[in-house]
Amino acid sequence: MNLHLKKIALLSAVLGASLACAGPVQAQSATPAPDNEALDVEQLFAGTCGFCHSDGGRAAGKGPQLMNSQRDDDFLRNRIKHGKQGAMPAFDGAFTDAQIDQMIKYIRALKPREG
Ligand code: HEC
């Protein structure tokens, strides 16, 4: 009888421990995997371009503000692809033409943040 109770106590201790372990693992696998199909331009901008083009391109930083650019698409494409000596790195090898087109679309769609 006593032994039986001990077994149950042991069992529930083991179960409890394994449940506690399962928690964080489950939480991890629940986070969405990065979507490699579509380029998340906003994310990319924050990471790759945000160092110089502040607030997702809405404000000037080391580089100019991109929102409301008066430049045409060819100029923007050319600048992103080839950069500018001593000012901006070239991203020709880093992104495909289609991805660069997406960035231009993103720049054109930029609006001031609400609030
Ligand atoms: C190291 C800093 C730096 C990084 C990183 C950078 N830029 Fe630039 N960018 C600049 C500077 C400086 C200029 C202005 C160049 C000039 O004098 O014409 C510029 C200009 C531009 C222009 C032309 C805007 C205009 O009106 O002249 C575009 C478009 C642009 N950058 C897009 C991007 C994108 C997209 C990325 C990320 C993939 C990026 N930049 C990353 C510094 C940077």
Give the CATH number of domain 41-109; options: 1.10.760.10, 3.30.565.10, 3.30.70.2190, 3.40.30.10: 1.10.760.10
Whole-number pLDDT of residue 114: 86
DSSP string for residues in the chain: -HHHHHHHHHHHHHHHHHHHHHHHHHHHHHSPPP-SSS--HHHHIIIIITTTEEGGGTEESSS---TT--S-HHHHHHHHHH-BTTTB---TTTS-HHHHHHHHHHHHH--PPP-
pLDDT the model gives residue 26: 45
pLDDT value, residue 79: 98
Token pair in block for residue 72: 């045409």
User: Could you read off the pLDDT tens digit of each residue along the chain, which spans 115 residues?
Assistant: 666 666 666 655 555 554 444 444 444 444 444 544 567 999 999 999 999 999 999 999 999 999 999 999 999 999 999 999 999 999 999 999 999 999 999 999 999 998 7
Atom of ligand 1 nearest to the CA of 87: 12
pTM (2 d.p.) = 0.75
* Cα distance between residue 40 and residue 80, in whole Å: 17
Report the residue among 41, 48, 53 best suited for mutation to probe ligand 1: largest number of ligand atoms under 8 A from its CB: 53
Q: What atom of ligand 1 comes closest to residue 104's alpha carbon?
A: 29
The CA 90 to ligand 1 mean position distance, Å, reads 9
The pLDDT value recorded for residue 33 is 46
Residue nearest (by alpha carbon) to ligand 1 atom 41: 49
Q: What pLDDT is stored for residue 39 in this prediction?
A: 72
